[in-house]
């Protein structure tokens, strides 16, 4: 993988962003884990998507993509302020199984409600926000919380997105904001209440 352009990080954020070497290491690990998750949960994808779209739909819940709870439902208490983003898939409520596809990958974090801009607050669930995990620059997964704790970082080329303000780009090379997924908490569960509010991944 080529080294990140030194101009990718603005002066105010450069000290906070990972080094080129650590970016490569984290990106390699994230991509490997995502591939492992996609291959380790094939039954979920096949069973749950036979009669519906892979993309999140209103009424879906969220499921962990990685780790010991992979495929299990994400509860509000599982997402805490200041913790690294949780990679997730939507979960079909009819089957209780995750919908595994690149297009359905989500980056989920909790922010302080007072930090959320109005448009993001309307799509959040008690400070929990979800975005398409596909960076709009090159499609790498968004896996890192910025030290500001309101922004999320793509470790591939250093793009930074404001999770408190509809995923707008605060540092390139990405030019387009992340697509946000509306959430709510209902009966103790995190529920999808709408579809992505924008296009996914890099411009075609």
Confirm if 71 and 180 have CB atoms less than 8 A apart. no
Which tokens sit at 19?
């080094």
Asked if residue 73 is part of any domain, the answer here is: yes
Query: Residue 1: inside a domain, yes or no?
Result: no
Give the count of domains, the chain. 1
User: What is the b/e burial string over 143-182, where b = at least 16 CB atoms within 10 angstroms of the residue's CB?
Assistant: bbbbebbbbbbbbbbbbbbbbbbbbbbbbbbbebbbbbbb
Please write the tens of the pLDDT for every residue from 99-109.
998 889 999 99
88 within a domain of the structure (yes/no): yes
The CATH number for 157's domain is 2.102.10.10
- Omega cis (within 30) before 173: yes
Query: Does residue 202 lie in a domain region?
Result: no
State pLDDT tens for residues 39-71. 334 444 444 445 567 889 999 999 999 989 999
- Walk along the chain (204 residues) and give the pLDDT tens digit of each residue: 333 333 333 333 333 434 444 444 444 444 444 443 443 344 444 444 455 678 899 999 999 999 899 999 999 999 999 999 999 999 999 899 899 988 899 999 999 999 999 989 999 999 999 999 999 998 889 999 999 989 999 988 889 999 999 999 998 798 899 999 999 999 999 999 999 999 988 887
Is 6 inside any structural domain?
A: no
DSSP the chain: -PPPPGGGS-HHHHTTSPPHHHHHHHHHHHHHHHHHHHHH-HHHHHHHSTTS-SS--TT-EEEE-SSTTTTSBPPGGGS-TTSPPEEEEEEETTTTEE---GGG-EEEEE--GGGS-HHHHHT-BTTEEEEESB-TTT--B--EE-TTSSEEE-TTT--EEETTTTTEEEESS--SPPPEE-EEEETTEEEE-S--SS--SS--
Q: Which domain holds residue 34?
A: 12-47+55-192
In a domain, 181, yes or no: yes
Residue 32 domain-assigned?
yes
Whole-model pTM? 0.76
Residue 201 counted as domain residue: no
């Amino acid at each position: 993988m080529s080294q990140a352009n030194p101009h990718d990080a603005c002066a105010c954020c450069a000290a906070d962003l990972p080094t080129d070497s650590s970016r490569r290491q984290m990106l390699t690990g994230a991509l490997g884990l995502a591939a492992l998750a996609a291959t380790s949960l094939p039954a979920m994808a096949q069973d749950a998507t036979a009669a519906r779209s892979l993309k999140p739909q209103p009424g879906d819940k969220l499921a962990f993509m990685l780790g010991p709870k992979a495929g299990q439902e994400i509860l509000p208490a599982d997402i805490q302020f200041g913790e690294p983003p949780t990679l997730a898939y939507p979960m079909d409520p009819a089957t209780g199984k995750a919908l595994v596809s690149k297009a359905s990958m989500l980056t989920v974090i909790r922010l302080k409600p007072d930090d959320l801009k109005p448009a993001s607050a309307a799509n959040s669930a008690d400070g929990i926000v979800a975005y398409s995990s596909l960076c709009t620059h090159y499609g790498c997964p968004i896996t890192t919380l910025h030290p500001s704790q309101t922004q999320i970082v793509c470790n591939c080329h250093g793009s930074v997105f404001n999770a408190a303000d509809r995923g707008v780009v605060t540092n390139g090379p990405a030019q387009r904001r992340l697509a946000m997924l509306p959430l709510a908490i209902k009966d103790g569960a995190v529920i999808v209440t709408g579809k992505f509010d924008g296009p996914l991944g890099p411009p075609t």
